[in-house]
């Protein structure tokens, strides 16, 4: 059987380290014969060690299907345009684009939503939501027909999740952007979807209190367990592949069924039994 991503080329954004969900997806694509170009968060000028570049290089070096590494500040249109120029030079037309970019100031993320600063709100929304529009717009001319765009979201954009706060608002906007971009790009056959994983041990997850969420999901989800990075990689790769050719504008929940629950479920039984 031919590998799922044989002769497929695409762009992956948002890989920070080995625990990144974007890397789990990219790793699956690479294993299935795909070729990927990677963007990474630019290092600060005074960072002589180039730590951001070093983390991604450590993951990709030696793999012939890792086509390039390109720094990109997603708030800078020139950076985004330069990324697409490099992508076209190295890869030609793109079959897939993975958007895995989000950020909020720690003080805004940790505080109550009502205390979110104006500047912090604008920054979080620009990086975490508008960036998908920006990437899609700049990539539009180099996307193959029937290409797939995927972003990463979270259930906190659909229901309040204490501690997720302003990022939940950003994810709500991102979810809506997915649907509008799906409409805009649909005539060209380009699909736009979102993967909504349950809590995983990632840099951003730890900032949002993932340790507490892991126990809650395990207790409440119908499957009675948390998801894995490998499952996120497989689901993300599926949505970026031709296997999902009829799916667009969707949010795929990968959370053991947690999102379907209307009550604490078996957790309530544990509470009644005094075992929680």
Please identify which of the residues 40, 130, 155, 164 carries the catalytic annotation: 164
Q: How far apart are the two ends of the chain, measured CA to CA in Å?
A: 47
Supply the range of the domain harboring residue 265: 9-273
Q: Which is it for strands 94-99 and 9-12: parallel, antiparallel or unpaired?
A: parallel
| Domain annotation covers residue 15 | yes
Q: Does 155 qualify as catalytic in the annotation?
A: no
pLDDT at 204 over 70: no
State the total domains in the chain. Answer: 1
Q: What is the domain-level CATH number for residue 250? A: 3.40.50.720
Mean of pLDDT values over 244-252 = 98
Are 257 and 186 in contact by the 8 Å Cβ rule? The answer is no
Q: Does 180 qualify as catalytic in the annotation?
A: no
Return d(Cα 177, Cα 66) in angstroms, integer: 29
| Domain annotation covers residue 151 | yes
Is the whole model's pTM more than 0.75, yes or no?
yes
From the number of C-beta atoms within 10 Å of its C-beta (0-12, 13-18, 19+), residue 189 rates as: middle
Instruction: Please give the DSSP secondary-structure letter assigned to residue 233.
Output: H
Return d(Cα 55, Cα 18) in angstroms, integer: 8
| Domain annotation covers residue 117 | yes
Specify the 3-state DSSP secondary structure of 66.
Answer: strand
Q: For 53-101, write each residue's pLDDT tens digit.
A: 999 999 999 999 999 999 999 999 999 999 999 999 999 999 999 999 9
Q: In the chain, which ranges are E strands?
A: 9-12, 35-40, 66-71, 94-99, 143-152, 191-197, 251-254
pLDDT at 245 over 90: yes
| Domain annotation covers residue 115 | yes
Kindly calculate the radius of gyration of the chain based on its CA atoms and give it in whole angstroms. 19
| Domain annotation covers residue 4 | no
Mean of pLDDT values over 2-24 = 96
| Domain annotation covers residue 1 | no
| Domain annotation covers residue 3 | no
| Domain annotation covers residue 41 | yes
Are 104 and 166 in contact by the 8 Å Cβ rule? The answer is yes
């Amino acid at each position: 059987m031919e590998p799922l991503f044989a002769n497929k080329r695409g762009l992956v954004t948002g890989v920070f380290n080995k625990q990144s969900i974007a890397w789990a997806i990219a790793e699956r694509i690479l294993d299935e014969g795909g070729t990927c170009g990677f963007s990474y968060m630019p290092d600060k000028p005074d960072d002589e060690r180039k730590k951001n570049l070093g983390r991604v290089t450590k993951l990709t070096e030696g793999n012939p299907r890792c086509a390039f590494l390109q720094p990109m500040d997603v708030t800078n249109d020139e950076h985004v345009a330069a990324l697409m120029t490099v992508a076209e030079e190295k890869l030609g037309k793109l079959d897939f684009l993975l958007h895995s970019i989000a950020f909020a100031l720690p003080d805004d993320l940790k505080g109550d939503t009502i205390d979110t600063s104006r500047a912090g709100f604008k920054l979080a929304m620009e990086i975490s939501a508008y960036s998908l529009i920006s990437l899609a717009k700049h990539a539009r001319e180099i996307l193959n027909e029937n290409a797939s765009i995927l972003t990463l979201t979270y259930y906190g954009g659909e229901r309040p999740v204490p501690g997720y706060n302003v990022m939940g608002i950003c994810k709500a906007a991102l979810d809506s952007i997915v649907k509008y971009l799906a409409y805009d790009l649909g005539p060209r056959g380009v699909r736009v979807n979102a993967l909504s994983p349950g809590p995983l041990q990632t840099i951003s997850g730890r900032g949002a209190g993932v340790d507490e969420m892991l126990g809650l999901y395990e207790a409440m989800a119908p499957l009675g367990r948390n998801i894995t990075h490998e499952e996120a990689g497989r689901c993300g790769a599926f949505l970026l592949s031709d296997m999902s050719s009829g799916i667009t504008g969707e949010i795929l929940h990968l959370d053991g069924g947690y999102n379907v629950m209307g009550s604490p479920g078996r957790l309530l039984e544990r509470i009644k039994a005094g075992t929680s």
